[in-house]
Every structure is written in C-alpha cells, then in structure tokens.
Structure 1
Amino acid sequence: MTDISSVLSTASIQSAYRSSQGLGPSQVEQGDAGGFSTVLRDVAADAVNTARTSEQIAAAGLRGELDTQTVVEATMELETTLRVAVSMRDKFVQAYQEILRMPL
C-alpha cells in the first residue's frame, strides 16, 4: 500500500507542472519575492485538493452515487499524479546527491 505522504507529494508535483505550463519567463521573473515558494505552496495545496477529490469520488462510487467511468478517471488522475511526483522526487534527490559529490 502507498504511503499517503507519497501520494500527496506526487499530486503536488503534478499540479506544479500543470501550473507552470501557463507561466512564461516574464511572468515568473515579475512575480513577488517569494515567487518560487508561493508556486510550490499553491501546487501542494492543489495536489492535496486533487487527492481529496479523488478520494471523495471513489467513496461516492462505492456508494453507487457515481458511474464507474468517473471513478476510473479520478483514479487514473491520482495514479498519474503519483507517478509524476515520485519521478520528480527521484530527480531532486539525484540532483542533491550530485551537489554533495562536487569538490569544494
């Protein structure tokens, strides 16, 4: 079974990716001083909301309130979010380890 923190971080990363698609270089540079941290916070919040929404859709599907296709779509979106988050986490860890190996 997957740890919920992994699911949430995956959703955050996917949301960050989606959010970054609409930002051009000029919009990022002209942002406030906490631009990067603000984007990460917003993406994390969006990811948590996506996970909660998917969970609610799955519960409604089990109660018979929603059709199977809606439940499957929500599950697939959550799975995609998880895969992207895990991939991004692995890349961040790899980059951090590479920085640690650099000679001073």
Structure 2
Amino acid sequence: MNPMMAIKAYQAAAAGGAGPAGGAAMPQDGPGFSELLSNAMANATDQSRQAEQQMTMAVQGRAELIDVVTAVASAEASLETVMAVRDQVIQAYQEIMRMPI
C-alpha cells in the first residue's frame, strides 16, 4: 500500500464517521496522518540508503548490476511518492488559505 492510498483511505474513514447523521466519530485504531507521513519519509530514506549501499558494493565488486538497478529504481519510486504527498499537502494548504473567513 503506497502512502497516497493510505492518505485517501484515512480521509475517507475520517469523513465517514463524523457527520450530522453519523454521530460521534469512532476512535481511531490505525495510525494518524502525521505518523503516515513520518513512515513515508522514513521508508524513502531507507530506500535511498539501500541504493547507496548497493552502489558502493558494486564499485567494490561485491554486488551485481541488477541489484544496484533494482535498489535505485525502488529509491526513485519512494522519492516520487514522497514528492507526490508533499505536493498534495501543499495544494491542500493553499486551498485552505484561499477560503474566506
């Protein structure tokens, strides 16, 4: 499950239980929004470190090229996911700032 899917699921769950007809919101069993973001950032950082280690091992002749390519592609996908989340957060913030008081 990527972070964008988790954020959308979290938003849907939060909107579903707290409305005039929904009564009080149910207690949350899962992680909060900030925890989801922290996990996404930690995952991207770990993927980058693994890619760096694979590149170092390849230079030393202890790793195969396919392992390096796989690690770099994984790190790139994680980074793109984090950037997409960041863009959505910035977009939401800007939309909130445009709301009339």
Q: Please point out which of 84, 94, 100 is paired with 2:81.
A: 84
Whether the aligned pair in 1 keeps the contact of 2:40 and 2:82 (CA below 8 Å) is no
Provide TM-score, normalisation by structure 1.
0.63
RMSD: 3.1
Question: Computing the radius of gyration over CA atoms, which structure comes out larger, 1 or 2?
Answer: 2
- What fraction of aligned residue pairs are identical, expressed as a percent? 33
Q: Which has the higher relative contact order, 1 or 2, with Cα contacts under 8 A spaced 6 or more apart?
A: 1
Which structure 2 residues correspond to residues 30-49 of structure 1 after superposition, within 5 A? Answer: 30-31=29-30, 35-49=32-46
How many matched pairs?
Answer: 85
Residue 89 of structure 1: how far off its partner (Å): 0.9
Partners of 1:70 and 1:44 lie apart in 2 by 23
Whether the aligned pair in 1 keeps the contact of 2:51 and 2:75 (CA below 8 Å) is yes
Residue 39 of structure 1: how far off its partner (Å): 4.1
2:3 maps to: 17
Gaps of 5+ in 1: 1-14
Provide TM-score, normalisation by structure 2.
0.64
